Amino acid sequence: MWTCPKCGEQIEDQIDSCWKCADQPKQIGSSVHKPIWCGWPFLFTRHGVAFACVVAMAVAVMGAEPETSIPSCASPDVKSVVGGNTAFALDLYQQLKGQPGNLFFSPYSISTALAMTCAGARGHTAYEMAKVLHVSLPQERLHPAFGALAGRMKQVQRGTQITLLTANSLWCQQDYHFTDAFLNVVRTNYRAEAHRVDFIHATSTARDEINHWVADKTTSKIEDVVAPGDLTGDTRLVLCNAMYFEGRWLHQFKASETEPVPFKVSTNETVTVPMMFQKSNFKMAWSENNSLEMLELPYLGNDLSMIILLPEDLEGSGRWQKNLSELERKLTIANLHAWLVKLDRTSPQEVSVGLPRFITTQRYNLKPVLKSMGMVSAFDGTADFSGMDGTTELVISDVLHKAFVKVDEAGTEATAATVVSLTRGGPPPFIVDHPFIFLIRENGSGTILFIGRIVDPTR
C-alpha cells in the first residue's frame, strides 16, 4: 500500500496522486471539461432483505497527455464480457427509450454491479441474470474477466494521466453471515471494501453512511442516491459501485466561439442553447443510406471518445422526434458495430463542429425494466442467492440508478455573438442542432461506459 502525501488516502500502487486529489483537475486555459457522474444502488431483502449497489466513475486529465492511445491486448474472456456489456447496454436503452425527454445511464456501471450480484446467484436466478446480461462465461471465468476489464481502465488512466476509477463497497448487516467464498470473489475481482452497519436498529444511519461514501467517491455530484424508505430493517446487504468521469477534449473548443443558437426539439418546439463551435480534424462518417451522421470527439490521450449519432432529416419534414425514434429503432448491436467500424476506418478530416453545452441528471428504478427483460426470479420469493449466505432468503427489492452529465467549456460563459456562416467549398459541417444519441467509449476494448440521448439540452 502507498499513502498519498497530499491527503493520506491509501492506494494499492504508488502513483502521482490518489483519486481524491485527481478529482480536482487544474483548469488550463479554455479547457473543455466533460464530467460525468453516476450512481445506483441494489436493494436486497430477506423476503424483503435489501442489497444496494451504487456506481461512480472519474476521468480527470491533468497536464499534458500523449496523443497515442494505449494498445489493448484483451483476452477472449474480456472480449466476451465487452460484447455482452454492449448487448446489454442496447437492450436496456430500448427499454428506457419510451420515457420522455433526455436519457442517460452507464451500462458499464450497471453491468459491473449486476456481475457482482451474479457471484452470489445460483440455479434459475443465475441463469436469468446471465441471460439478461448476455453472459456466456462460467462464474469462475466471468469475475476475473470483469476484474481484467477494470484493470484496462486503470491502465488507461495511468498511461494518459487520466483518472478513470471505479470504487466498489459492500455494506453488510453487522450480525448477518455471508459466505467467505462470496466475499472473496467480490473483494478479489471487484476490489470491494467491506463495511459493517446496523440496518435493523439504525437504518437511517446506515443510509447516511452509504450516501456519504457515494458522495465522497463522486466529489459530491451524486448525493442521496439512497432515498428515505429505500432501506428497511429487513435490509441485509448493500453493494455499491461508484464511478466518476471527467475528460478534456483533444481538440478544445474556445469559449469565445460559443454563441446562442436555435435547437430543434420537435416540429413545433425550438429552444435556444449555447452552441460550442470549432474547426478541426475529426473522424466523420455517414450510414449507407445517409440517414445518420457520425462524429468522433476524442479526449486527450485518444483512449476515450464521445461518439455522436445524429439522425438526418432526408425528407425535409422537420419531424426531429420521428427521425430520432427511427434511429433508436435501428440501434441494434449489429448496426452499431457496422457504424462504429465505418467511423473507425475513416481518416480524420477538417470539420466545422457545433455541439451544444448541456447538463442532465437522470434517476431510474430499474427493477421493472430488468424484470421485463427476463430477470424475474431475483425479485420474488423464488430467488436463489444462496451463494451469498447459504440460504434462499435473500431477494432484490430495488435497483436504483442515478447519472449526471455536464458538457461545457470548464464553466466559461460565451461572450461572442457572431453568427457562424458556412460557405460552399469549406470544411463539411456537423452541427448538432436537433435531438441526438451519444456514447462514451473506451476505444481499446470497445467498452461503452455511458450512453444517452439529448432531446432538449436546456433540461
167 CB-near residues (< 8 Å, 6+ apart): 19, 56, 193, 217, 240, 241, 242, 243
List, for residues 132-166, the tens digit of each pLDDT value: 999 999 999 999 999 999 888 888 876 556 666 67
Rounded Cα gap, residues 91 and 134, in angstroms: 10
Q: CA quadruple 308, 314, 318, 324: dihedral positive or negative?
A: negative
pLDDT 10s per residue in the chain (459 long)?
435 555 554 433 333 333 334 333 333 233 344 444 445 555 665 544 444 444 433 222 222 344 566 666 679 999 999 999 999 999 999 999 999 999 999 899 889 888 988 999 999 999 999 999 999 999 999 999 999 998 888 888 765 566 666 778 888 888 888 899 999 999 999 988 888 899 889 999 998 998 898 888 877 877 888 888 888 888 888 877 777 777 888 888 988 999 999 999 988 899 999 999 999 999 999 988 888 999 999 988 888 899 999 998 766 666 788 889 999 999 999 999 999 999 999 999 999 999 999 988 888 888 899 999 999 999 888 999 999 989 998 888 778 788 888 876 642 221 111 122 222 245 678 999 999 999 999 999 999 999 999 999 998
Residue where the block lists cell 465522497: 216
SS3 at position 179: coil
Return the CATH architecture of domain 255-357+412-454: Roll (2.30)
Give residue limits of the domains in the chain: 22-248+359-407, 255-357+412-454
- CATH assignment of 22-248+359-407, among 3.40.50.740, 3.30.1360.200, 3.40.50.1460, 3.30.497.10: 3.30.497.10
Rounded Cα gap, residues 127 and 377, in angstroms: 10
Q: Among 169, 173, 170, 179, which residue's Cα sits nearest to residue 197?
A: 173
Is 439 in contact with 448 (CB distance < 8 Å)?
Answer: yes
Residue where the block lists cell 497536464: 63
State the pairing for strand pair 447-454/165-173: unpaired
pTM: 0.82
